[in-house]
Amino acid sequence: MKHILITGGSSGIGLAIAKKLMEEGNRKVISLSRSQEKIERALFTHPEMEGEVDFITGDVSKAGDCQKVAGYLKDRYGKLDGLVNNAGMLTAGGIHDIDYELWKANLDINLNAPYLLTQMMLPLLKASGNASVVNISSVASRIPGRSIAYSVSKAGLDMITEFLAGELGPYQIRVNAVNPGLVETPLHLDSKVVDDESMYREMLAKSAGKYPIGRIGKPEDIAQMVCFLLSEKASWVTGSIIRVDGGSSVFNEILKRKNR
Ligand SMILES: NC(=O)c1ccc[n+]([C@@H]2O[C@H](COP(=O)([O-])OP(=O)(O)OC[C@H]3O[C@@H](n4cnc5c(N)ncnc54)[C@H](OP(=O)(O)O)[C@@H]3O)[C@@H](O)[C@H]2O)c1
């Protein structure tokens, strides 16, 4: 039985990863997130997860909560075969908009938490003998996106990925990042990047035209890649930063105008 911890498994991309892993079988998925209400919503839409996915509550940006989770996993499961650092926060804006407190909050969740959690999980990951860490970054790590704090935190997460792949390879711990393009999840509405549902729909429709594949992403598109990286099929893949973005990073406005 493989034991896999996902941060933020109660919503969006994390929920799709938890569901796919559960369906693959022979995996115990543990999800760590804050809101009990979101967990109940997830179980309402996916009743098959009840009793199968171990939803626990805690805040990844609090060292004490991460420590508790490490203790819980050690006592209950004894090892960890997969860690998906997925929980994230997005505050839109540049230096005129994001004050220092918000800057720190974004970095705490998106950058410091994956570092801290990976560090705290090391004894359990080493005990696996064949472990995989997947960091959910973003295409915004390589281009300034909607938020300075978000882009900087994800750029740092890419470097954590590359650094740790080199450091932890000898312990048979692989470390990779998946960098999604725009994916339809509650993130943008919850983070107030858009004011309301109609503004969100407009943003999705406008963005779709910039994806060569012709649509924005679904959480399942990302889950497929994450599950591959967690599996033994990816046993020689480490230190990779993998864009899963419908080609948005290579979109070419001039070609689009020429061809249509
Ligand atoms: N959606 C996109 O377009 C997109 C694109 C590129 C990258 N990403 C990345 O994908 C990841 C998942 O995003 P999503 O779109 O699936 O967002 P989402 O639907 O809002 O889900 C976020 C999950 O993270 C949990 N979470 C947030 N802060 C947390 C904290 N401090 N401690 C523990 N859990 C926390 C949330 O639960 P609680 O609030 O209950 O804690 C929720 O389960 C993020 O890292 C995001 O940056 C998303």
How wide is the angle at C-alpha 249 spanned by C-alphas 176 and 227, nearest 5°? 30
Pocket of ligand 1 contains residue 112 by CB under 6 Å: no
Burial of 158 (0-12, 13-18, 19+ CB in 10 A): middle
CA distance 14 to 178: 12
Going by the DSSP 8-state scheme, the letter that residue 93 receives in this structure is B
Q: Which domains does the chain have, with CATH numbers?
A: 2-259 (3.40.50.720)
Does the predicted model carry a pTM greater than 0.75?
yes
Return d(Cα 167, Cα 12) in angstroms, integer.
31
Nearest ligand 1 atom to the CA of 7 is 34
Whether 89 lines ligand 1, by a CB cut-off of 6 Å, is yes
Can you give the pLDDT at residue 255? 79
pLDDT at 244: 98
For the chain, give the longest Cα–Cα distance: 61
Q: Whose structure tokens read 């996916």?
A: 46
What's the confidence (pLDDT) of residue 145?
Answer: 87
Minimum CA distance residue for ligand 1 atom 21:
11
| Res 253: pLDDT | 81
186 touches ligand 1 (CB under 6 Å): yes
Q: How far, in Å, from the CA of 39 to the mean position of ligand 1?
A: 13
Ligand 1 within 6 A of CB of 210: no
| 260 residues of the chain, pLDDT tens digit each | 999 999 999 999 999 999 999 999 999 999 999 999 999 999 999 999 999 999 999 999 999 999 999 999 999 999 999 999 999 999 999 999 999 999 999 999 999 999 999 999 999 999 999 999 999 999 999 999 899 999 999 999 999 999 999 999 999 999 999 999 999 999 999 999 899 999 999 999 999 999 999 999 999 999 999 999 999 999 999 999 999 999 999 998 887 766 65
The pLDDT of residue 171: 98
Phi, psi of 170 (to 5 degrees): -60, -15
Give the per-residue pLDDT at 260.
Answer: 59
DSSP E strand stretches across the chain: 2-7, 27-33, 54-57, 82-85, 131-136, 173-180, 241-244
Distance 9 CA to ligand 1 centre (A): 8
Residue whose CA is at the smallest distance from ligand 1 atom 19: 12
Residue ID of nearest Cα to ligand 1 atom 41: 34
